[in-house]
Amino acid sequence: MANGVWHTGYDIEINLSLPDLGHEDRPDLLREITASVADRDPQLLECLAHHHGRECLSESGGKSPWMFIRRGRVGGRRPLVASHVPITHKATPAESAQHKATKERIVDTASRSGLEADAEVSTANRRTVSDALVTGPGGIRIGWEIQYHHISPSSVHRRSVNAVQHEITPLWVAKDRTASLIDRAPWARVDDMPWKEIADGKEMLIRGGYRYLQVWK
């Protein structure tokens, strides 16, 4: 439980201990944040520790970094408290293997092409971690985000904006034509391939998302 959360839609910190939540200019804020998770973006409210790049014990214990607000019970009072939303989707072994193989494929291909490439690179504020960061001519940096399972549109936008603020061009990779990230950020869709074929170097066709191709030599 916590007495504060981060509102990802407004980019503001909410203090649950204050009657006006710390934002007297937003009279509808209480109604918005106490709405059922099923009736709003499940990633609307974020753990403050997660937002600021600190370790959160609840996440370490298997909870998500996203929050919901409820009324507690302390004596005769009913204060607002924030709790972590349980993780409803964990990557299956097959999804995890696909993700790892795709990440390694990107880094290996870029390196063999003479580009600088690293895996799991975080931004300075630790709010975004690129699965693979490729640096090209002139210091142009592409941050590959491999997203083979569901992610909310707000998270795609927030993480993309954070990457751009750190001079990284995000490039999201999906395998599902209905993925929520499509058309919300630079993206590419590939086939749903077994991890072994990805790791063995089988051709990965881009089925959609690109505007044009630029060859770097």
Structural domains of the chain, with CATH? 4-86 (no CATH), 93-208 (3.40.1350)
**Per-residue confidence (pLDDT) for residue 3, from 0 to 100:** 81
Residue 76 phi, psi dihedral angles, 5° rounding: -100, 5
Total residue count of the chain as it appears in this document: 217
Q: How high is the pLDDT of residue 7?
A: 93
Q: Cα–Cα distance between 67 and 46 in angstroms, integer? A: 6
pLDDT for the residue numbered 59: 66
CA-angle at 13, arms to 11 and 14, nearest 5°:
125
Which of 85, 215, 190, 110 shows the shortest CA–CA distance to 130? 110
What's the pLDDT score for residue 192? 93
Task: State the pLDDT at residue 12.
Answer: 94
- pLDDT in the model for residue 37: 82
Each residue's pLDDT, cut to its tens digit, for the chain (217 residues) gives: 468 899 988 999 999 999 999 999 999 999 999 988 877 878 889 899 888 877 777 765 667 888 899 888 877 788 899 998 877 666 667 768 999 999 999 999 999 999 999 998 877 766 677 899 999 988 999 999 999 887 777 778 888 888 999 999 999 999 988 888 888 899 999 999 999 999 999 999 988 886 666 777 6
pLDDT value for 125: 65
For residue 73, what pLDDT is reported? 80
Are the beta carbons of 32 and 46 closer than 8 angstroms?
Answer: no
Predicted pLDDT of residue 151: 78
